[in-house]
Structure 1
Amino acid sequence: MVPEINWIAVVLATLSTMVVGSIWYTPKVFGNYWMKAAKVTPGEAKGAVIPIVVTLIVSFISAWVLAGATYLSFDFYGGSYLTNALLTALILWGGFTATRFITHDAFEGRPVGLTALNCLHELVTFMVMGLIIGLFGV
């Protein structure tokens, strides 16, 4: 079985990650804390083009996988496509993203607050992607 994927939803979900990140990491939200905890100085953003391109690519992959997994969940369980998308986003975040962040950050000795901040950012990111994918359906 090949999952049916709404590519418009995937593209919008990809772009949503940039919006969420832009808001989340602004100085007025969590940016100042993030810069301090991650030891990033405000002037270091000069070389941001490559990280932004990488972010778009990996966000597209995440949105595509989430859309495919959502379809499989919906096909198996039935019910609401939106509910399946949100639950799938939550499960994928918890089972893969959060656990990997926590593992790597523990070995790298990163502050717990930074790990929590980044994990919560990813949770919000995945839930917004799930919302978009769920609202568009297949």
Structure 2
Amino acid sequence: MVPEINWIAVIVATISTMVVGSIWYTPKVFGNYWMRVAKVAPGSGKSAVVPILVTLVVSFISAWVLAGATYLSFDFYGGSYLTNALLTALILWGGFTAARFITHDAFEGRPVGLTALNCLHELVTFLVMGVVIGLFAI
């Protein structure tokens, strides 16, 4: 079986990751804390173009995988497409994203607060993508 994927939902979910990140890491939300604990100097002169393009590509891949996994979950379990999207987002986040962040950050000796901040950002990002994909039910 090949999952049916709503490409408009994937594109909107991809864009949603940029919106979430822009809000999350703004100085008035968590940006100042993130810069301090991640040791990022504000206005260091580095171009953000490449990181933004990379983020768009990996966010598209994440949204595409989430859409496919949601379709499979819905096909198997039935019920609400939105509920399946949210649960699938939560499971994928916990099983892959959070687990990998925690592992890598522990070995790299990163502050626990930075790991928590980045993991929670990814949780919110995945849940927003899940809402978008769930609302664009095929």
Gaps of 5+ in 1: none
SS of equivalent residue, structure 1 residue 10: helix
Report what 1:60 is aligned to: 60
Could you tell me which amino acid in structure 2 is paired with residue 64 of structure 1? W
Report what 2:14 is aligned to: 14
Report what 2:87 is aligned to: 87
Could you tell me which amino acid in structure 2 is paired with residue 131 of structure 1? V
Report what 1:130 is aligned to: 130
What TM-score, normalized to structure 2?
A: 0.99
| Root mean square deviation of aligned Cα | 0.7
Structure with greater helix percent? 1
> What's the offset of the Cα at 1:44?
2.5
Report what 1:5 is aligned to: 5
Could you tell me which amino acid in structure 1 is paired with residue 48 of structure 2? A
> What's the offset of the Cα at 1:47?
1.3
Cα distance in 2 for residues equivalent to 1:44 and 1:111: 22
Could you tell me which amino acid in structure 1 is paired with residue 101 of structure 2? F
Could you tell me which amino acid in structure 1 is paired with residue 12 of structure 2? L
SS of equivalent residue, structure 2 residue 43: helix
Could you tell me which amino acid in structure 2 is paired with residue 32 of structure 1? N
Cα distance in 2 for residues equivalent to 1:44 and 1:113: 23
Q: Give the fraction of aligned pairs with identical amino acids, expressed as a percent.
A: 87
> What's the offset of the Cα at 1:28?
0.2
Instruction: Provide the aligned length of Structure 1 versus Structure 2.
Output: 138
